[in-house]
Structure 1
Amino acid sequence: MKKKLPKYYPSCEEIMKANERLKNVINETPLQKNLLLSDKYKANVFLKREDLQIIRSYKIRGAYNKIKSVCYQTILKKGVVCASAGNHAQGVAYSCKKLKIPGRIYMPSTTPQQKIERVKMFGKDFVEIILIGDTFDSVNVEALDFCKKNKKIFIHPFDDVKIIEGQATVGLEILQQYPFHIDYIFIPVGGGGLISGVGSYFHQYSPHTKIIGVEPEGAPSMSISLKHGKVVELENIDRFIDGASVKKVGKLNFKICHKILYDMKTVPEGKVCTTILELYNLEAIVAEPAGALSISALDFYSKEIEGKTIVCILSGGNSDITRTEEIRERSLLYEEKKHYFIVQFPQRSGALKEFVNNVLSKKDDITYFEYSKKNSKEKGPAIIGIELSDKNEFTSLLKRMKKNKVHFQYINKNPDLFRILI
């Protein structure tokens, strides 16, 4: 069944054209039934594996479709420009090399070297990387200013109809690979390019499928915009889930999402970290934080999706190994298995030994300890991080601390102080 949409929505005909442009350029990524998730949620859960895409992300679809849709002679003469610290930059770089056109890619000076090297690898001599500014927002301003002054072609990461049509080919593939009824599709949301593309296609060809957008709790740009009925720019966001953390969603993306969404869900960053670790440990799947967003939302719909057919788009697998410790830390905090305290220790020998013997159980582990002895005082503060094997043991830990008259301050919920620790 095909539904008619307003003119500013990507048409199925244009999405088909995008699919043709992308043939022999991208991988048709698999749609895999995940047995562990299906068993956990008593549903048929399928993962669309865009982490197996040629640049390990769906972003190549929109970038290549946009660039290829412009007159070749024009784009060869002018060149293209983009601003990105991640997957969009890689998609543009790959497209430039493939089409043999010049590209200029602006990235924050804080971008990890691993990401810079991947952009260089995909773009080779066809791209120039400009490192400037500390945030994506400042870099984006520089890129747009350069485009305006030099009459270059800007490749927006999401707020462009050709970008949206390219991302929509993910939805086209899903319905070709599973031509049966799909009850729910969970799609990660950053600027809104993927969900407005895939959602538009599903809205027309699978109108009974409930489309659920999932974004980080620390960057709820689409959720807040939908609540206010207009695009809202956030002042501050948590950039941990960097592939889906934007201050402002696209205007076109917002219009489409306002029409097609069944629900929007924000997911805590710690929950996403738990999902990343579970995917790796149980499935040997390497997912980046934004890539794990859609799967992370399933817990919040567990009753609703029971017995249903579900598709989650695993949107990317460009994970930086240097972030592993932070991912584990955030996961433990979310799961309530890691707890930090400022403990006032008597400044005498044996005080720490008494704490370990009388307060900690055999399964508790001290994973962080910072103490500096001050000879002029009776007590000295120590910051202690304790990892529990079971979150339900936390109450018992507090009881033992109080029983042994330990003077402490619990600091997990103090973000300003705690941020120093991680």
Structure 2
Amino acid sequence: MQDYLKRILTARVYDVAIETPLEAAPNLSARIGNTLLFKREDMQPVFSFKLRGAYNKMAQLTPAQLQRGVIAASAGNHAQGVALSAHRLGCKAVIVMPTTTPQVKIDAVRHFGQDAIEIVLFGDSYSDACTRAYALEKERQLTFVHPFDDPDVIAGQGTVGMEILRQHQAPIHAIFCAIGGGGLIAGVAAYVKQVRPDIKVIGVQTNDSDAMFQSMQAGQRVQLNDVGLFSDGTAVKLVGEETFRVCQHYVDEIVRVDTDAVCAAIKDVFQDTRSILEPAGALAVAGAKLYAKREKLTGKTLIPVACGANMNFDRLRFVAERAEIGEKREAILAVTIPETPGSFRQFCTLLGSRNITEFNYRFADPKAAQVFVGVQVKDPAETATLVATLQQNELRTLDLTDNEMAKLHLRHLVGGHSAGVSDEILFRFEFPERPGALMNFLNRMSHNWNISLFHYRNHGADYGRVLVGMQVPHHDKDALRAFLDGLGYPYWDESENPAYRLFLG
């Protein structure tokens, strides 16, 4: 273990890597009552810490090894580190990546040269890609640059810990590192625990990719059958032999977080830095928040390593959808209300001034209406209070906030054909995103008209897109026109829309 201190102090990383800042997070710090400092490894030239270990390993290869070339297996960030290092050192590199790797990472690797870099896509996870890389290593007589299970790679990553202690010499309660194979936390822990053993080093993993957690619990390496791919940068089925040995010796504990918590952490970092981390990059932040809450910490300094920002842009839709739930600031409810005029208005009145984030309803039964609604809340306690209030007013309510099927699928499927709806007219509106816009709509609408369909989802714009079906008798057409014109909201009649006829009419 003493050897790691020397290896880290003499690591060759700064030919290509930069010393990243330790940046304050004032908004998140104020919210959790502790000082959070982000170690901004997402600011590296390849937007990840992986460059450190890859270059440190390759810079120590012999000229003959460099001449033959190198090979690596990676979910993306290590691949970019190897590619940049190969470009700088003038050698060829073969990169084996899982087929699930985000396109942004594949394109980033290709950026370093089509002639020098060969990309091979194989398997669904890092472990699958690694198996293929080992076969190609022997077949082509290449030098394997492991993403984590190599002392030189671990030492390169350990320079992150060295920089943290140099940059912040005041007390630190804990440093948090995301764990995939364990290279980053092994390097950081090996340095920190030999220089400042009072500082806790805490690993963070997702619930569905927790190979290191299970291995530490079992006292031996445990191989997972499957891993979750949302945090693709940490989707490792089997941790390294050397990283496991170092973690057993130095790591204080490992906390696990779910997908919603990671999405919330991505949003937290954005609000403080205006930077967007990838899921693996935000893992440490999610872990620090969970740990601070669990331990009831106040006034402590916590340093999560923001280890990567190679985010697939398409994934942002999912992150934005789940961030509020991850912070327990959105409640998802299923509410049964009487299918009678005025009951919808009564229900909205009971919600009070709370911001409605989503509303899905389709007429299905002449006696009872099933409403799927999202409501912005301060915390889980407010959710419980709201549910109790609705129940007391004889509105049967089911809390779906932690129901994965409801969050992933049901919210997009509420609706369908309804044979019992007559005289239905469908309108698409743009509601102003301000309190009272919905109640203004309901109060102006004739009490003789029934709402048969309602769909709304807050998209963060200055107006809300709302789809409304109303049962309006033919003789009320003039009154309908007066209502629409007096409302003042932009609207479009979608009653003849073929999509409506096919799926909802």
* TM-score band, normalised by shorter chain: 0.7 to 0.9
- Supply the AA of the counterpart residue of 1:50: E
**Aligned residue among 116, 138, 161 for 1:148:** 138
**CA offsets 1:148-188 (integer angstroms, 9 cap, x no match):** 33322222211111110111111222233334554432222
User: Residues 339 and 100 from structure 1, CA distance in 2 versus in 1: closer, same or farther, beyond 3 angstroms?
Assistant: same
Shift of 1:212: 1.8
Q: Does 2:236 align with 1:246? A: yes
Q: Please give the alpha-carbon distance, in whole angstroms, between the structure 1 residues aligned to 2:51 and 2:17.
A: 8
Match of 2:8 in 1: 15
Q: Does 2:310 align with 1:318? A: yes
1:187-206 mapped onto 2 (5 Å cutoff):
187-206=177-196
**CA offsets 1:63-84 (integer angstroms, 9 cap, x no match):** 111122221222322x222222
- Supply the AA of the counterpart residue of 2:54: A
**Aligned residue among 17, 33, 40 for 1:26:** 17
Paired residues in the alignment total 408
User: Residues 42 and 415 from structure 1, CA distance in 2 versus in 1: closer, same or farther, beyond 3 angstroms?
Assistant: closer
1:256-335 mapped onto 2 (5 Å cutoff):
256-299=246-289, 300-301=291-292, 306-335=298-327
**Aligned residue among 100, 103, 114 for 1:113:** 103
- Supply the AA of the counterpart residue of 2:304: C
Match of 1:398 in 2: 387
Shift of 1:361: 3.6
- Supply the AA of the counterpart residue of 1:295: V
Structure 2, unaligned runs of 5 or more:
413-505
Q: Please give the alpha-carbon distance, in whole angstroms, between the structure 1 residues aligned to 2:247 and 2:158.
A: 13
Q: Please give the alpha-carbon distance, in whole angstroms, between the structure 1 residues aligned to 2:13 and 2:254.
A: 30
Q: Please give the alpha-carbon distance, in whole angstroms, between the structure 1 residues aligned to 2:313 and 2:373.
A: 23
- Supply the AA of the counterpart residue of 2:131: V
Q: Please give the alpha-carbon distance, in whole angstroms, between the structure 1 residues aligned to 2:329 and 2:367.
A: 28
1:9-408 mapped onto 2 (5 Å cutoff):
10-18=3-11, 21-40=12-31, 43-77=34-68, 79-299=69-289, 300-301=291-292, 306-340=298-332, 353=344, 357=348, 360-365=351-356, 367=358, 369=360, 371=362, 384-391=372-379, 392-399=381-388, 401-402=390-391
Q: Please give the alpha-carbon distance, in whole angstroms, between the structure 2 residues aligned to 1:43 and 1:418.
A: 31
Say which one has the larger Rg: 2
3-state secondary structure, aligned to 1:311: strand
Aligned-pair RMSD on alpha carbons? Answer: 3.1
Match of 2:449 in 1: none
3-state secondary structure, aligned to 2:224: coil
User: Residues 13 and 394 from structure 1, CA distance in 2 versus in 1: closer, same or farther, beyond 3 angstroms?
Assistant: closer
C-alpha contact (below 8 Å) 2:13/2:56 kept by paired residues: yes
Structure 1, unaligned runs of 5 or more:
none
Q: Give the structure, 1 or 2, with the largest relative contact order (CA under 8 Å, sep 6 or more).
A: 1
C-alpha contact (below 8 Å) 2:212/2:239 kept by paired residues: yes
Shift of 1:118: 1.2
Shift of 1:126: 1.4
User: Residues 13 and 362 from structure 1, CA distance in 2 versus in 1: closer, same or farther, beyond 3 angstroms?
Assistant: closer
Q: Please give the alpha-carbon distance, in whole angstroms, between the structure 1 residues aligned to 2:357 and 2:298.
A: 40
- Farther off after superposition, 353-362 or 158-167: 353-362
- Farther off after superposition, 389-398 or 121-130: 389-398
- Supply the AA of the counterpart residue of 1:91: G
C-alpha contact (below 8 Å) 2:101/2:232 kept by paired residues: no
3-state secondary structure, aligned to 1:279: helix
Q: Please give the alpha-carbon distance, in whole angstroms, between the structure 2 residues aligned to 1:38 and 1:382.
A: 40
- Supply the AA of the counterpart residue of 2:74: S
User: Residues 397 and 140 from structure 1, CA distance in 2 versus in 1: closer, same or farther, beyond 3 angstroms?
Assistant: same
User: Residues 256 and 329 from structure 1, CA distance in 2 versus in 1: closer, same or farther, beyond 3 angstroms?
Assistant: same
C-alpha contact (below 8 Å) 2:71/2:143 kept by paired residues: yes
Identity over aligned pairs, percent: 33
Match of 2:409 in 1: 420
TM-score, scaled to structure 1: 0.84
C-alpha contact (below 8 Å) 2:103/2:312 kept by paired residues: no
- Farther off after superposition, 395-404 or 258-267: 395-404
TM-score, scaled to structure 2: 0.71
3-state secondary structure, aligned to 1:11: helix
C-alpha contact (below 8 Å) 1:340/1:383 kept by paired residues: no
Q: Please give the alpha-carbon distance, in whole angstroms, between the structure 2 residues aligned to 1:186 and 1:294.
A: 5
3-state secondary structure, aligned to 1:294: helix
Q: Please give the alpha-carbon distance, in whole angstroms, between the structure 1 residues aligned to 2:300 and 2:350.
A: 47
Shift of 1:267: 2.5
C-alpha contact (below 8 Å) 1:345/1:351 kept by paired residues: no
Q: Please give the alpha-carbon distance, in whole angstroms, between the structure 2 residues aligned to 1:295 and 1:336.
A: 16
3-state secondary structure, aligned to 2:115: helix
Q: Please give the alpha-carbon distance, in whole angstroms, between the structure 2 residues aligned to 1:30 and 1:92.
A: 23
**CA offsets 1:190-238 (integer angstroms, 9 cap, x no match):** 2110111111111222223222222223322212111111111123333
Q: Please give the alpha-carbon distance, in whole angstroms, between the structure 1 residues aligned to 2:307 and 2:225.
A: 26
